[in-house]
C-alpha cells in the first residue's frame, strides 16, 4: 500500500494568483519552507531540480515533469528505482471557486518495496514539509492578491 499525503486548502485569492505562486519556481526560496529552490521548464519529460529541507537537512532532488495543464495542474515523479524498489508521484492541482477564491490540492505518493524503510525514516518529515508548503502557498497567494 502506497504512502500518501494529501493536503487541500481554500485560498482567498483568484486561481490565477495561486497559479503564479506555484509556477514562479525561481521565487520558492522567498516563501517556501519545504522546497527552498526549484528549477524547471515544467514541460512534460523535463527535469525538475529541487532543494528540499527534510528532517533538518537540505537535500537535492531531481524528478521529471509528467503532466502540465497551465492554470490547472502539474505533476512530477522520481525516476523509478530498478526492480520496483521505489517510485513517487507529486501533483499540484488548482480549482477556481466563486468569489475570487480557489482550492489548492497537494498530492504525494510513494510506493515500492523500499517504501516502508523510507517512510520509517522520513515519513513524519515529509508530512510536516508538505503541510508547511501548503500553508505557505496559501499565505503567499493571499498576500499577493
Range of the domain at 25: 3-144
Nearest CA-CA partner of 48 in 13, 11, 23, 18: 23
Q: Counting every residue, how long is the chain?
A: 145
pLDDT tens-digit readout, 53-112: 998 899 999 999 999 999 999 999 999 889 999 999 999 999 999 999 999 999 999 999
The predicted model scores a pTM of: 0.94
Positive/negative CA dihedral, 81, 1, 51, 93: positive
Block residue for cell numbers 518495496: 113
CATH number of the domain within which 123 lies: 3.30.530.20
**Mean pLDDT (the chain, rounded):** 97
What are the backbone angles phi and psi of residue 2, rounded to the nearest 5°? Answer: -70, 150
How far, in Å, CA of 52 to CA of 35, rounded?
4
Which grid cell sits at 81? 528505482
Structural domain total, the chain: 1
When pLDDT is averaged across residues 108-120 and rounded to a whole number, the result is 97
Amino acid at each position: 500500500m502506497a504512502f500518501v499525503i494529501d493536503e487541500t486548502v481554500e485560498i482567498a485569492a483568484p486561481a490565477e494568483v495561486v497559479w503564479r505562486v506555484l509556477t514562479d519556481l525561481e521565487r520558492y526560496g522567498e516563501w517556501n519552507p519545504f522546497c527552498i529552490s526549484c528549477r524547471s521548464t515544467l514541460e512534460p519529460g523535463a527535469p525538475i531540480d529541487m532543494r528540499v529541507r527534510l528532517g533538518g537537512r537540505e537535500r537535492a532532488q531531481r524528478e521529471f515533469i509528467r503532466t502540465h495543464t497551465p492554470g490547472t495542474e502539474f505533476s512530477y515523479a522520481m525516476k523509478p528505482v530498478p526492480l520496483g524498489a521505489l517510485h513517487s508521484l507529486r501533483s499540484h492541482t488548482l480549482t477556481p471557486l466563486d468569489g475570487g477564491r480557489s482550492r489548492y490540492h497537494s498530492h504525494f505518493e510513494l510506493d515500492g518495496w523500499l517504501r516502508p524503510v523510507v517512510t520509517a525514516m522520513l515519513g513524519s518529515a515529509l508530512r510536516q514539509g508538505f503541510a508547511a508548503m501548503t500553508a505557505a502557498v496559501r499565505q503567499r497567494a493571499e498576500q499577493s492578491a
